[in-house]
Structure 1
Amino acid sequence: MKFACHFRSFVVCLIALFPMAKGYASPQPQPAVKAVLAAQSLLTDIVVLENNRLVAVGERGHIIWSDDGVVWQQADVPVRSNLTAVYFIDDRYGWAVGHDASIVHSADGGESWQLQQFAPELDKPLLDIVFKDTYHGLAIGAYGLLFRTQDGGQSWQSESHIELLDEDEQDYLLELKDDDPELYALELSAIFPHFNRLYRDDDLLLMVGEAGFFAISEDFGMHWEMQDAFYHGSLFDIAMLSSEHWLAVGLRGHIFLTEDEGDSWQEIVLSSQATINSIITVDDVVFLSGNAGLWATSADGGLSFSAMTAAEGRPIVNAVPYQDNMILVTELGIQILDLKKPE
């Protein structure tokens, strides 16, 4: 059997190839090991807080932070699972998610972290997380993982939304629910696509994932509406450039633009076929980061992009603007790129 791996969520392929053995005893979480070269190891996500602090997460539970983008310190983290995403609601309160369905929380701007969830028995990674305030958050991941908290992460509840399946799959599940509850539970844990990324604008959520999956919620994920697929490959990020003007990116350099809130999409041609991992916006300029060191820039609202190679040609997973630079998180750790807007 052959599997195609995306850099940011390579764990999904490993899970497919090496499923958890029956009778597996769930291990206890182990704290991340302090590493001198943590800032030079694989990093997967980064945010900049309102007080100008940077926080980045990556492999083996590494979380690092910096107040100047140059000197980095490693935080105390209660798990050594690979971490995939980080989100801060303000200068103090943040959350990170990753493998083993792990969720960790910081109340001091990323300097220390506490465990909120660790569920290796699920054998699925969480891939993204958003909060709308210090209490209400959503975490999503592989095979339709979706957890909600309404108390700042003191408790997380798993949710399944069958409206995120096509009609035939919904009918199949509803029939199973009555006829074979045990099989229904098994199917429910495997039938959903991977949920890769969330974009939040107040209570409006856009979610993209595997095989062209795209859904919208107007009430912070309480209810969802599946959208018609405009691409049948995996999508790894989506962003609102304005209320009607959205951009989605994914496998093999695919870029899609809508100017009518998703009613219609046009494909934007990119000179590179490298998978695109993230969308970064700075004022009216759009940047894309991707595999093979892909770094693309648009000054016309995403209608066209110029591409270059950065980070020594290694995968760039995400980035944030910082002072006069762009801080990249890559396979080689932190990289700094001059932020030069196109003419």
Structure 2
Amino acid sequence: MGRRLKYCSIAFLVQVGVWAVGAFASESAWRRQSSGTMTRLHAVYFLDERRGFVAGGNGVVLATEDGGATWRAMRRPNDDAIRDLLFIGERIGWMLVERNPYAQREGEPRSYFWRTEDGGKTWFHLNPVGIEAVTLTRLVFADEAHGWTFGEAGAIYATRDGGRSWVRQFAPTRHLLLAGAGYDSQRAWIVGANSTALYTTDGGDTWQLGFVPETGVRLNGVSFLDERHGWAVGSGGRIFVTVNGGKVWRRQNSNTNADLFDVKFLSLREGWAVGANGTVLHTTDGGETWLVVPSGTTYQLERLCFAADRRGWAVGFGGTILTYR
């Protein structure tokens, strides 16, 4: 990925008219798409404005080639929950899977991967070599070789060979880790429970705790535009911003108390966040002002993705897929 972060694929500035501080947006450009499932969806990724995937509980994976106008179910080998989904370029993709504990055999890892090398047409199973019996929540790659996966009890694992092997890295926390962002092979960020905000500038050889001005916040999502500017969202409508690479975070007023689960910034000014009760937030001034945008749903929204033609998608409970244009 080099020195440019992705927001699922190439993100462009999304232009939406806004009214006054603290007000609701005048109308919503978010529309629901028919997923054909009621399964909770945990992840969404679009390669471009037409080709995309969503995934979630019970092994559900849906694919589209028309921007989500129609979704087709892909063959699933089991009912294990898919926790994360990402692509590195056009062909190489990953899914992080949590094994069904009732079907888990002795000695099997709690989490494992599916990988594609043909743009998602076919996927093959990969056991995570070097990863202990921990439950993983997310997967982050900065480029084809360098990535991190993390989860319960402060566990962080790094790969430098494209996921063939993983090495545990020391984290100065035992809290659950929930989201991350990778900028390049050296710089990455991970956030989690109890206001945990970690950053590394040496590929994870050392992880340091950033300062968050509140304790007890469950940080569920994080987005970085460059090596300095980032945003994190979490419980109780909390949004924090950093301008020094995650060393110090400052709270922003979100105009909501709803739990927030994901955030994506498309420029230093333009950003979106989603959360509980169908909450969608939008800013055009770097987060100094957040507006509540009607979403047309009360289902919890968990993940966001933006593609190259000003298109966006959000997924969550009840098989919900929303699209923005």
TM over 0.5: yes
Aligned pairs for 1:228-247 (under 5 A) are 228-232=211-215, 233-247=217-231
Partner of 2:87: 88
Q: Does 1:73 align with 2:69?
A: no
Instruction: Find the partner of 2:180 among 184, 198, 201.
Output: 198
Partner of 2:148: 138
* 2:172 alignment partner AA: L
Q: Distance in 1 between matches of 2:230 and 2:158?
A: 26
Partner of 1:33: none
Aligned pairs for 1:185-334 (under 5 A) are 192-203=174-185, 204-232=187-215, 233-283=217-267, 284-322=269-307, 323=309, 325-334=311-320
Give 4+ residue runs of structure 1 displaced > 6 Å after superposition. none
Partner of 1:16: none
Instruction: Find the partner of 2:39 among 38, 41, 46.
Output: 41
The answer to whether the 8 Å contact 1:53/1:67 transfers is: yes
**CA 268–107 in structure 1, closer or farther in 2 if over 3 Å, else same:** same
The answer to whether the 8 Å contact 1:54/1:65 transfers is: yes
**CA 125–74 in structure 1, closer or farther in 2 if over 3 Å, else same:** farther
The answer to whether the 8 Å contact 1:249/1:255 transfers is: yes
The answer to whether the 8 Å contact 1:198/1:208 transfers is: yes
Partner of 1:53: 51
TM-score for the superposition, normalised by structure 2: 0.76
The answer to whether the 8 Å contact 2:180/2:190 transfers is: yes
Q: Give the secondary structure class of the aligned counterpart of 1:60.
A: helix
**CA 150–270 in structure 1, closer or farther in 2 if over 3 Å, else same:** closer
Report the Cα offset of residue 324 of structure 1: 5.2
TM-score for the superposition, normalised by structure 1: 0.72
Question: Pairwise CA RMSD of aligned residues?
Answer: 2.6
The answer to whether the 8 Å contact 2:40/2:316 transfers is: yes
**CA 81–138 in structure 1, closer or farther in 2 if over 3 Å, else same:** same
**CA 50–194 in structure 1, closer or farther in 2 if over 3 Å, else same:** same
The answer to whether the 8 Å contact 1:144/1:193 transfers is: yes
Q: Does 1:102 align with 2:112?
A: yes
**CA 224–118 in structure 1, closer or farther in 2 if over 3 Å, else same:** closer
* 2:192 alignment partner AA: G
**CA 160–326 in structure 1, closer or farther in 2 if over 3 Å, else same:** closer
Q: Distance in 1 between matches of 2:159 and 2:40?
A: 29
Partner of 1:14: none
Q: Distance in 1 between matches of 2:205 and 2:88?
A: 20
The answer to whether the 8 Å contact 2:35/2:320 transfers is: no
Q: Distance in 1 between matches of 2:145 and 2:324?
A: 37
Q: Which has the higher helix share?
A: 1
**CA 136–269 in structure 1, closer or farther in 2 if over 3 Å, else same:** closer
Report the Cα offset of residue 80 of structure 1: 2.1
Question: Larger radius of gyration, structure 1 or 2?
Answer: 1
**CA 270–226 in structure 1, closer or farther in 2 if over 3 Å, else same:** closer
Aligned pairs for 1:151-170 (under 5 A) are 151-154=161-164, 156-161=165-170, 163-165=171-173
**CA 222–39 in structure 1, closer or farther in 2 if over 3 Å, else same:** farther
The answer to whether the 8 Å contact 2:183/2:227 transfers is: no
The answer to whether the 8 Å contact 1:78/1:114 transfers is: no
* 2:95 alignment partner AA: A
Count of paired positions = 275
Q: Does 1:336 align with 2:322?
A: yes
**Sequence identity, in percent?**
20
Q: Distance in 2 between matches of 1:243 and 1:122?
A: 30
Q: Deviations over 1:239-289 (max 9, x none)?
A: 224443321111110011223334443321222211111112234410001
Q: Give the secondary structure class of the aligned counterpart of 2:194.
A: helix
Report the Cα offset of residue 39 of structure 1: 4.7
Q: Distance in 2 between matches of 1:89 and 1:334?
A: 25
Partner of 2:157: 147
Q: Distance in 1 between matches of 2:224 and 2:143?
A: 20
Please identify, of 41-50 and 318-327, the stretch whose mean Cα deviation from structure 2 is larger.
318-327
* 1:116 alignment partner AA: L
Report the Cα offset of residue 308 of structure 1: 3.1
Q: Deviations over 1:28-84 (max 9, x none)?
A: xxxxxxxx9665421111111158421211111112211112222223344421111
Q: Deviations over 1:123-171 (max 9, x none)?
A: 74321112233333221112223333344333x435141x523xxxxxx
Unaligned runs of 5+ in 1: 1-35, 166-191
